[in-house]
Amino acid sequence: MPNMVIKGLGNYIPEKVYDNAYFESIVDTNDEWITRRTGIKERHIAADNEYTTDLATNAAKAAIADAGITPEEIDLVLLATVTPDYFTPCCACVVQDRVGAVNAAAFDFNAACSSFITGMVMAEQFIKNGTYKNILLVCADVLSKVADYKDRATCVLFGDAAGAAVLSADDNAAGVLASELGADGTGSMYITSLAVKEDPEEIEKRVSGRKETVWMAGQAVMKFAVKTMADATNRVLEKAGLTYDDIKLVIPHQANYRIVDSALNRMGIEKDKVMLTLEKYGNTSASCIPSALTEAVREGRIERGDKVAIVGFGGGLTWGAAVFEY
Ligand code: UT7
């Protein structure tokens, strides 16, 4: 049975930057509050005419180039987003066309910020059972298009980005050593972004009163996140028979520095083993992990053979954790 390896990685970060001073100019906030409560200094924002499929295509092309395969060799395009260009077509089909993955099946899925790990676990099934050899997994979002820029509690958190990986069959690699996915639908209304259902109660919660914005019960999500991140990572390490000493780098979902810090304390690991991109990009949803992974490799913080732990949580509520050999 082949194992699944990350053959190539890529990310795309839009050019425009909103720093904390920008938010001071639009809502009642300040750099000190945002820095102390979140750790975020800047976020990159898509241009007016730049959408999820545009960011996704750029990250996907970079990952394919990094993998050293041709687009025709891709068997499946999996794309995760909570900000699709359209309900239909799915973003995966648009990206399939734009990168020239003419032989690939394609579909979108949504496990919010846990999507990269969810996508890896899905891809692993197709690869291990021999259905596919090369899968392009892309996570992309333009949260700036749905942020409520009248709600200081949420708008300061989000940025736009895309991260992609080519996941391939390899008979000799160790690949994914253990993984876990989970959901807790009792918290489903803690993070909401509305679609076709008429829901006046939800619209009422939005400071702007605009249906097409994201709303979040920040504190409730934060409590869930701290516990879930540490517990899920501990469980996958145990399943793999490893300890934190075996792990070169932990890459968590980048939502809030305080969440990461509390989770690290629960895990009992040092900060220098953690990859953080939060300060410069903010929370970019599912792309946080693949984008940070791309940069960790680029910066030489991970090399082939190193063991890496990734852990995410988000809307749904969902979570996922995995440990793999890069
Ligand atoms: O990726 C999806 C998952 N999402 C997350 O992980 C987000 C999880 N939650 C969080 O990161 C935090 O809950 C937030 C950063 C969103 C908020 O931090 P908090 O420490 O939970 O603050 P809070 O909501 O309890 O608000 C404390 C105070 C309130 O004022 P009062 O009622 O104490 O007077 C807020 O109105 O801070 C106020 N506040 C702000 N003040 C200045 C909220 N947002 C701001 C702001 N600037 N931007």
The pLDDT tens digits for 260-303 are 999 999 888 988 999 999 999 999 999 999 999 999 999 999 99
Our measurement of the distance from residue 23's CA atom to the centroid of its chain's CA atoms, rounded to an integer in Å, reads 24
Q: Ligand 1 pocket, 152 CB below 6 A?
A: yes
Structure tokens at 197: 């259902």
Which mutation among 154, 222, 277, 311 tests ligand 1's pocket best, with the greatest number of atoms within 8 A of CB? 222
pLDDT band at 305 (very low <50, low <70, confident <90, very high): very high
Ligand 1 atom with the shortest distance to the CA of 113? 1
Do residues 96 and 127 make contact, with C-beta atoms less than 8 angstroms apart? no
What residue owns the CA closest to ligand 1's atom 20? 37
**Atom 9 of ligand 1, residue of closest alpha carbon:** 218
Is 30 labeled as catalytic in the residue annotation?
no
CATH number listed for the domain at residues 176-325: 3.40.47.10
Amino acid letter, 34: I
Model pLDDT, residue 242: 97
Over range 190-206, report the average pLDDT.
Answer: 96
Beta strand 76-80 with 105-109 is parallel
> Is the distance from the beta carbon of residue 156 to the nearest atom of ligand 1 less than 6 Å?
yes
* Residue 186 pLDDT > 90: yes
3-state SS class at 256? coil
3-170 maps to which CATH number? Answer: 3.40.47.10
Lowest mean pLDDT among 134-143, 188-197, 262-271: 262-271
Annotation marks residue 253 as catalytic: yes
β-bridge pairing 42-45 and 16-19? antiparallel
Ligand 1 within 6 A of CB of 228? no
| Residue in 26, 219, 228, 277 to alter for ligand 1 test, most ligand atoms within 8 A of Cβ | 219
Q: How confident is the model at residue 1 (pLDDT cuts 50, 70, 90)?
A: confident
Q: pTM of the entire structure?
A: 0.97
Nearest CA to ligand 1 atom 27: 153
* DSSP H or E run through 178: strand 176-183
Catalytic residue selected from 93, 253, 256, 288: 253
Domain ranges in the chain are 3-170, 176-325
Give the tens place of pLDDT for each residue, 223-236: 999 999 999 999 99
pLDDT, tens digit, for every residue of 236-260?
Answer: 999 999 999 999 999 999 999 999 9
Q: Of 163, 180, 200, whose CA–CA distance to 13 is shortest?
A: 163
Kindly report the average pLDDT of the chain as a whole number. 97
% of the chain beyond a pLDDT of 90: 96
Residue 155 appears among annotated catalytic residues: no
